[in-house]
Amino acid sequence: MSGAGGHSGDLPILPGATLGVLGGGQLGRMFAHAAQRMGYFTAVLDPDADSPAGRVSHHHIHTDYADVDGLARLAGLADAVTTEFENVPAPSLEHLAVARPVSPAASAIAIAQDRIAEKAHFTRCGVPCAPYAVVETAEQLAAVEDHLLPGILKTARLGYDGKGQQRVKTRAELVEAWQAAGCVPCVLEKMLPLEFECSVILARGRDGQIVHFPPQRNLHRDGILAVTEVHPQNMPKTVAQGAVNSAKSIASGLDYVGVLCVEFFALADGSLVVNEMAPRPHNSGHYTMEACDVSQFELQVRTLAGLPLTAPRQHSPAVMLNLLGDLWFPGGEADGAKPVAPRWSEVLAVPGTHLHLYGKMAPRRGRKMGHLTLTGATLESVRANASQAALLLGLPALA
């Protein structure tokens, strides 16, 4: 059960060992469930005493991610360590890697934490980005070329779910937005005519083998993923293959080990540009737990433990609906409104419905509380049932 019991970094790490994860959110929770199902013990390090993953794990080290004593305890318990989100301090992963196998590596996490480094990596891999400019100084701000406007100013670090992003149309708005961001390093991306958004989730082993899921078609609302659809008709085959090839190139260029999600914009002319990468399982891959024979979380376990990777097969069309805390406040959160549980009984009466709630203690606006995956024998039935479930929850109908 304990990593202190003689394991010295040899792979594979077989069931009965302990796998550790930095981060106690819903992705860590689903990783822990997948590891436990396969016979592993789990250890979570997270500063939140009520973290969703910590509450279901065999061990919860309740401390900050940079706490040396806490990291030592994790290394003593776990035979290998991964992370569930990209903003874990890269030096903490480096520290752990001295004692235990860690994947993804700190170097890959560090690139994903910085949009400037991330875009440079995409360029090195030959994967096109939207035209952009780095804005770290007032001089660089003044030198931004006119053709990049209108654009989106994004902070280089700590941005996710639409946070740290501002749309700007003019130079005056650009200056104001950079000042509002605190004059921190940013990138300005040119706004492009989007047809749709998509993502690819892959797993890469230490031997360089890569397996991947079918590309997901995604719909965002207010910068947060709202709907994912995965079926053969969700995008042109040429776009899907181009996304897979680009994602593989990005992973290989990092010498990546683990599960990686790469998000893309499909443009009106049929071309693709890469948006960003997430060095972990991803919201758009939650459908894999019901619609595929191997989930993204099982692949995370396999890559961490050095187990064989098998190409996942999707056996059912799927639609995933993200469930935000807004659903608990149908009249809004104003005036001390108390949360009201959504209509779960009616939703669960819809055929092919799979409800996942993340164990978060308090719903609030914009907070990811869970997701709903719908599967079935035909695409038509799945989309119809997803539309019915959305209607019951007060969500917009499927497009």
> Binding site, residues?
115, 154, 159-165, 189-192, 197, 220, 275-276
The answer to whether 387 touches 350, Cβ cutoff 8 Å, is no
d(CA 325, CA 323): 7
User: Tokens 């749309």 belong to which residue?
Assistant: 167
Q: How many CB atoms lie within 10 A of CB 309?
A: 18
Q: Where are the beta strands (DSSP E) in 292-352?
A: 318-324
The angle formed by the CA atoms of residues 359, 307 and 61, to the nearest 5 degrees, is: 35
Listed residue (311, 292, 290) closest to 386, CA to CA: 290
Report which secondary-structure segment, H or E, holds 138.
Answer: helix 138-142
User: Tokens 């995604």 belong to which residue?
Assistant: 218
Phi and psi angles of residue 394, each rounded to the nearest 5 degrees, phi first: 80, 20
Annotated binding-site residues for ATP read 115, 154, 159-165, 189-192, 197, 220, 275-276
Point out which residues pair with 218 in neighbouring strands. 197, 228
